[in-house]
Amino acid sequence: MRRVLLIYTGGTIGMGQNPDTGALEPLDFSQLVGNIPELASIPVAVDVHQFAEPIDSSDMNPQLWARLVEIIVAHYDSYDGFVILHGTDTMAFTASALSFMLENLTKPVILTGSQLPINRLRTDGRENLITSIEIAAARHADGRPRVPEVCIYFSGKLLRGNRSTKINSEGFNAFDSFNFPHLADAGVNIVYHDDLILRPDYNKPLVPHLEMDAGVVVFTLFPGIEEKTVRYILNAPGLHAVVMRTYGSGNAPQQPWLKEALLQAEERGITIVNITQCAAGPVEMARYSGGFLLKTAGVISGFDSTVECAIAKLMNLRGRSKDPQFIREQMQRPMCGEISLE
């Protein structure tokens, strides 16, 4: 029988109402298993590992990502795959981070959760959980895992984790990956798009990276953004990397002070990555002069990366090396399917 480790971190899926405040808060997972009788009837052996204190995922942080990596590493040889129950708010950040922290991953790590708690009649949690377990246990005829990468499964879609974004705070259809097709679609059958799924080298050992450098900031350009604000951000103490959310295909106002401020930041070793504010499509800095200005200011293209992924990748690379040249080079090549170069 296949074996899957279910790691419960918290999130709406496992929440109940606080009788005093009426607000939702995480419950102990053992209180929830009774609400999922289906767990006993699926042909997969499921063990549960619970965070000591389940959290709302707005409290997620790099130390807890490292904790997740340690749990996966400790149980790596004993399970066919892993399902992480996680709040939806920061699920795309965690999925992106884990994809870089688990180098040479050869087993499925599927994150899921729900918009309604699992003990509610109309919950979306039951299907999300059961299908995630099925995907984590799925294998090819030759015994290789069907999906050996970090993914989010939600509302019928299996998405590459580092391509995913939360798109809806209310609807069940809460995630999508605008710049990469779904890895599988679950209707009556689960239809896997095998040609899109990563094919890792099974001879390489899993290399965990626990260190993440949180000296990163995201800032969004808008018409009228002031020089003093930009300079203040770029001079923040401990800042090592910036995700700059630009217009359209990577454009910015053609102000000499902007180019100067960016060049000065880069001279101090700060890496600046250009990510579009659009939900879909890549950055192409040579297309308009507003993008070309950023290119000449030494800004790196984020290609078609999500913001969540750019942040996680910068944190991870800076955790591996303090060399800005190394970070610059790695940002411009895909490490685990997170960007398309054309």
Q: How far is the CB of 122 from ligand ASP (least distance, A)?
A: 14
Phi, psi of 208 (to 5 degrees): -80, 140
Residue with tokens 């992924």: 309
Q: How far is the CB of 24 from ligand ASP (least distance, A)?
A: 8
Using alpha carbons, select from 208, 42, 212 the residue that is nearest to residue 109.
208
Stated length of the chain: 342
- Where do runs of H (alpha helix) occur along the chain? 38-41, 62-74, 91-101, 125-137, 227-234, 256-267, 289-296, 307-320, 324-331
CA terminus-to-terminus distance, the chain: 42
**Which residues of the chain form contacts with ligand ASP (CB under 6 A)?**
10-12, 56-58, 87-89, 113, 115
Active site residue 12: yes
Q: How far is the CB of 173 from ligand ASP (least distance, A)?
A: 13
Using alpha carbons, select from 150, 143, 133, 140 the residue that is nearest to residue 186.
133
Q: Whose Cβ is closer to ligand ASP: residue 87's or residue 290's? A: 87
Residue nearest to ligand ASP (CB): 87
Q: Whose Cβ is closer to ligand ASP: residue 106's or residue 119's? A: 119
C-beta separation of 96 from 68 below 8 A: no
Q: How far is the CB of 314 from ligand ASP (least distance, A)?
A: 23
Q: Whose Cβ is closer to ligand ASP: residue 130's or residue 272's? A: 130
Q: Whose Cβ is closer to ligand ASP: residue 80's or residue 124's? A: 124
List the catalytic residues: 12
